[in-house]
A and B are shown apart, each in its own frame.
Chain A
Amino acid sequence: MKLSLTVNGQATTLEAEPRTHLADLLRGELLLTGTHIGCEHGVCGACTVEVDGAPARSCLLHAGACAGASVRSIEGFAEDPVMAALREGFSAEHALQCGYCTPGMLVVARDIVLRLPHADEARVREELAGNLCRCTGYRGIVRAILGVLAARRGAAT
């Protein structure tokens, strides 16, 4: 099937098997390999991208469901200021080790920061429950997000 969608701000038309999922499309057809595949059944969160402004599991979206959608993968956040703050925080708090869950984790972290400016530690942990990290034990990830939240609240006052 022919599929038109916007990826990282660029209108794209490509040919796809209907059974192909969005993660494979991004990685295989568009060579956007920053989106990682972990379970392909929507539990681990490694493949999380932004679809029409909200985080989504790219392994659960079939090509047909993406027609007309606006998709933003980790590569599309390179110039984003919130993501820049999160990258800085992730590095400072040692929130990544092997790096495999990191792109999906960052997309969710950015959503938390923008949607829940007053989130406390318990809420951040709850919001991260859909993203598995096998390396870090989460402490650095939670601290990095809380740090960015605090800095933004400080800047807003």
Chain B
Amino acid sequence: MTAPRSGHGVGASLRRKEDARFLLGRGRYVGDIRPAGTLEVAFLRSPVAHARLLGVTKPAGAEQRVFVAADLPEIGPIRANSALPGFRVSEQPALAQGKLRHVGEVIAACVAPSRAEAEDLVAACELDYAALPVVSDMLAARAPGAPLIHEHWPDNAFLETRRDEDLSDLDAVAAAKVVRRLRTARQSMAPIEGRGVLAEWDPRLEQLVVTTATQQPHVTKTGLAECLGLDEGQIRVVSPDVGGGFGYKAILLAEELACAALAMRLGRPVRWLEDRLEQLTANANCREHHYEVTAWADAGGKLLGVEVNATVDAGAYSAYPFSACLEAAQIGSIFPGPYTLPRFRFHTVSACTNKPPILPYRGVARTGVCYAMETTLDALARQLKLPPEQVRQANLVPPEAMPYRNLVGKVFDSGDYPEALRRAVAAVDVAGIRARQAAGEAVGFGLAVFCEQGAHGTSVYHGWGIPFVPGFEQAQARFTPDGVLEIRTGVHSHGQGLETTLAQVAHQILGVDPARVRVVHGDTALTPYSTGTWGSRAMVMAGGAVAEACTQLGERALAIGAALLQAPRAACVLRDGAVHAGEAKVTLDQVARTWFRSPQNLPADVDRGGLEVTAGYRPDPDTGTHSYAAHAVVAKVDTETGCVTLESYVIVEDGGTLVNPMIVDGQVLGGTAQGIGTALYEEMPFDSEGQPLAGTLADYLLPGATEVPDIRIDHMETPSPWTRFGQKGIGESGAIGPPAAILNAINDALAGRGAEVLDLPATPARVLAAIERALA
């Protein structure tokens, strides 16, 4: 179904309920919460990338305020295993033991009444270590004789995956063959709010209460219980307002474990707030891929086969819960993208290096994969002298093939990929660009087409065998005695606007005014278990669960309303927040009041579950929705300075039924801004000693208002046949396409000069180097 575009339900661009508090500065983030007696923590972190840890000398007189691993033996190691064959397990100690494996690794926790005093203690600690040779590059990590980061492993690889298919005959038959070596930079996700943790021990409930900026409160609770040896009932995790996630806050933190153990030991609230230096130098932890791609095509641009050898720099440990292999091992299954690839061979490596453990950043592996595939397609188009859109049209999955299962078993639910591409190309004055190029101008046109699997569930994740497998998503719907509808969900909203969109879903089912719907999230004591907000899943999974819970709640309300109206149930309907029987009606407020405060008026056969329903939901099949998009970019290159200007940016996007189009646009725009950062600006360089070289936001460049153009979005709305309203996961989509589309535009602009930029980001230095290489 395509939902109506009126009212306050599914399809309405309703203004956000959460805006009011944020606009008045009344949001409440971890850093805003400081109970009396709170002790602040500063961490002594490793200054080197690889060393034997010989000891820490605590400052004289402060021995009781500095805690190393031996002081907190109750904290077990973080283990994020995978059941994929051949996966090697790393044990990540919360506080370093024996070895230091990356700059910024936590060694000791220093506690004091203020952060400044705690930092003074850090500065007074003496660290003794013996430096070891450093593995700072993912390809060097695999070289024979490379120093071993985990010494009981035979080499520095968490996991290798492969698909063997003999492609050796293609050289003889292909009209075009291209080979590309491509690299994407290591990035910091850089939410404006850093991480933060406040741990307290509640002696009355004998419960550890951890208030932490997380996208996954329930998964964090499970992880804390595993590592601390507590029952899950002894832990409550609260995630209040969170200032941006993007994957950075989908992790069990060493710092959470340390604060939790300290709160239990000291009987005082213990808080740590990450500062920007820590975030940049200890936690630049995403996106770093290397590709060798070979592609063969016929004269019309139809792909005959692709071979990809991909390496992902997974860092020193396997982060909980997504593991060290989520990116690399996924490359094989997502590389074909939206195309009908006939033959495919791949080999992937999750390389272990002396860098922070990799986390899945918005788009996860797709941003790199899209970059590799789409730049390769443009290289083929240049070689075949075909327009780039023609090569893509020759390969896109056609709409009549939907639902489509590709050669690696990925299932695409619905959509018209060729139409998205046609619309994107039509929105750009390609002839005008070609004319400017003919006049010698370094201007270019770049495309990227991709899809985003979202909300994939049990059938996809059980094979990974990582610490969680998403199952049925649950939501609770319940009335308060005065008729307010409470929705309780285990996902977390940190910018996505779920307090609004889940209220819209509830309104769609029950007709309750969204202003009278209260969405409760971010507290494991109040919400059903959930794997949380990740994988573009919340609107599909929690949206479906809320719809189901409200549907069941509506049935119960209908029965009570029918009794109050003295009408047969079959003659009653639920509409606009009231039970109607002909001309007569009783509001849901009255129904709620009856259950709670006038039970003498309830029918004898009333459902004794009352006005409170917990329901579970999972799409069938649960292989995930595929939103998709075509990005079209016009970029101008200053060949003297190497600076790139984005002249226009068009996105044609299909997220199925849009629950709130305004919010979807916001997700797409914000993701695209991050993708522009990936394409042009953001890079955490590491030197050969594994030292991160960008320690401030003046060195690590995030896109500002002058770097992001006024992006045009055109929506298609092909409902997913498998979800409650036809909605698709789309939260990460914007971050996937920009590096591919922008680099294609740059290389189109430079094609006349024979230059090609291969590595991300396309900084002025890289652009100039490419031009110079072409002149040489």
* Cβ–Cβ contact A27 & B704, under 8 A: no
Nearest A residue (CB) for B117: A17
Q: Which of B24, B673, B698, B710 contacts A121 (CB 8 A)?
A: B710
What separation, in Å, do the CA atoms of A149 and B85 have in the docked complex?
A: 61
B231 at the interface (CB under 8 A from A): no
Pick from B167-175, B239-247, B714-722, B742-750 the stretch touching chain A: B239-247
What separation, in Å, do the CA atoms of A132 and B705 have in the docked complex?
A: 8
Knowing A39-B276, A136-B669, say if A73 contacts B244 (CB, 8 Å). no
B665 at the interface (CB under 8 A from A): yes
A33 at the interface (CB under 8 A from B): yes
Q: Which residues of B contact A39 (CB under 8 A)?
A: 276, 696-697
What separation, in Å, do the CA atoms of A32 and B674 have in the docked complex?
A: 30
* Cβ–Cβ contact B22 & A99, under 8 A: yes
* Cβ–Cβ contact B669 & A98, under 8 A: no
Knowing A132-B192, A133-B192, A139-B711, say if A99 contacts B666 (CB, 8 Å). no
Whole-angstrom distance between the Cβ of B19 and the nearest chain A Cβ: 4
Interface residues of A in 98-157 (CB under 8 A from B): 98-103, 106, 121, 124-126, 128-142
A44 at the interface (CB under 8 A from B): yes
A78 at the interface (CB under 8 A from B): yes
* Cβ–Cβ contact A138 & B708, under 8 A: yes
Q: Which residues of A contact B22 (CB under 8 A)?
A: 96, 99, 102
B29 at the interface (CB under 8 A from A): yes
Whole-angstrom distance between the Cβ of A112 and the nearest chain B Cβ: 11
Knowing A33-B25, A102-B23, say if A17 contacts B193 (CB, 8 Å). no
* Cβ–Cβ contact A99 & B27, under 8 A: yes
What separation, in Å, do the CA atoms of A126 and B704 have in the docked complex?
A: 9
Knowing A75-B25, A96-B23, say if A134 contacts B710 (CB, 8 Å). no
* Cβ–Cβ contact A137 & B711, under 8 A: yes
Q: Which residues of B contact A7 (CB under 8 A)?
A: none
A62 at the interface (CB under 8 A from B): no
A74 at the interface (CB under 8 A from B): yes
Nearest B residue (CB) for A140: B666
Nearest B residue (CB) for A132: B702
* Cβ–Cβ contact A37 & B495, under 8 A: no
What separation, in Å, do the CA atoms of A147 and B672 have in the docked complex?
A: 23
Question: Which residue, A78, A125, A130, A137, has most C-beta atoms of chain B within 10 A?
Answer: A137
B15 at the interface (CB under 8 A from A): yes
Q: Which residues of B contact A10 (CB under 8 A)?
A: none
B620 at the interface (CB under 8 A from A): no
* Cβ–Cβ contact A36 & B190, under 8 A: no
* Cβ–Cβ contact A90 & B192, under 8 A: no
Number of residues on chain A facing chain B (CB within 8 A): 55
* Cβ–Cβ contact B705 & A99, under 8 A: no
Nearest A residue (CB) for B22: A99
Knowing A90-B23, A134-B702, A137-B711, say if A38 contacts B28 (CB, 8 Å). no
* Cβ–Cβ contact A98 & B697, under 8 A: no
What separation, in Å, do the CA atoms of A115 and B241 have in the docked complex?
A: 33
Q: Which of A17, A132, A139 contacts B697 (CB 8 A)?
A: A132
B670 at the interface (CB under 8 A from A): yes
* Cβ–Cβ contact B704 & A128, under 8 A: yes
- B116-132 CB mask vs A (1 if < 8 Å, else 0) is 10000000000000000
Number of residues on chain B facing chain A (CB within 8 A): 55
What separation, in Å, do the CA atoms of A92 and B706 have in the docked complex?
A: 22
What separation, in Å, do the CA atoms of A19 and B26 have in the docked complex?
A: 27
Q: Which residues of A contact B31 (CB under 8 A)?
A: 27, 33, 36-37
B610 at the interface (CB under 8 A from A): no
B18 at the interface (CB under 8 A from A): yes
Whole-angstrom distance between the Cβ of B631 and the nearest chain A Cβ: 13
Whole-angstrom distance between the Cβ of B445 and the nearest chain A Cβ: 21
B497 at the interface (CB under 8 A from A): yes
A34 at the interface (CB under 8 A from B): yes
What separation, in Å, do the CA atoms of A75 and B19 have in the docked complex?
A: 15
Q: Which of B20, B669, B696, B698 contacts A137 (CB 8 A)?
A: B669
What separation, in Å, do the CA atoms of A134 and B678 have in the docked complex?
A: 13
B429 at the interface (CB under 8 A from A): no
B275 at the interface (CB under 8 A from A): yes
- B506-535 CB mask vs A (1 if < 8 Å, else 0) is 000000000000000000000000000000
A91 at the interface (CB under 8 A from B): yes
Q: Which residues of A contact B698 (CB under 8 A)?
A: 41, 43
B183 at the interface (CB under 8 A from A): no
Q: Which of A32, A37, A46, A136 contacts B666 (CB 8 A)?
A: A136
B16 at the interface (CB under 8 A from A): yes
* Cβ–Cβ contact A125 & B669, under 8 A: no
B496 at the interface (CB under 8 A from A): yes
Knowing A94-B663, A101-B192, say if A74 contacts B24 (CB, 8 Å). yes
Knowing A40-B276, A103-B25, say if A134 contacts B663 (CB, 8 Å). no
Q: Which of A90, A91, A97, A126 contacts B706 (CB 8 A)?
A: A126
What separation, in Å, do the CA atoms of A32 and B26 have in the docked complex?
A: 9
Interface residues of B in 229-258 (CB under 8 A from A): 241-246
Q: Which residues of A contact B192 (CB under 8 A)?
A: 36, 38, 44, 46, 98, 100-101, 132-134
Question: Which residue, B22, B23, B193, has most C-beta atoms of chain A within 10 A?
Answer: B23
Nearest B residue (CB) for A104: B192
* Cβ–Cβ contact B193 & A36, under 8 A: yes
Q: Which residues of B contact A96 (CB under 8 A)?
A: 19, 22-23
Nearest A residue (CB) for B663: A94
* Cβ–Cβ contact B669 & A139, under 8 A: yes
A58 at the interface (CB under 8 A from B): no
B640 at the interface (CB under 8 A from A): no
Interface residues of B in 19-42 (CB under 8 A from A): 19-29, 31-32, 34
What separation, in Å, do the CA atoms of A97 and B501 have in the docked complex?
A: 13
* Cβ–Cβ contact B191 & A134, under 8 A: yes
* Cβ–Cβ contact A94 & B666, under 8 A: yes
Q: Which residues of A contact B774 (CB under 8 A)?
A: none
Nearest A residue (CB) for B667: A97
Which 10 residue pairs spanning A and B have beta carbons closest together? A34-B25, A100-B243, A99-B22, A97-B495, A74-B25, A137-B669, A137-B673, A98-B495, A33-B32, A43-B697
Q: A44-B276, A100-B27, A126-B706 are in contact. List 9 more A-B contacts (CB 8 A).
A: A27-B32, A33-B29, A41-B697, A75-B24, A102-B23, A132-B704, A134-B673, A135-B495, A136-B670
What are 5 residue pairs bridging A and B, where the CB atoms are less than 8 Å apart in the complex? Answer: A33-B25, A33-B28, A35-B25, A128-B706, A134-B670
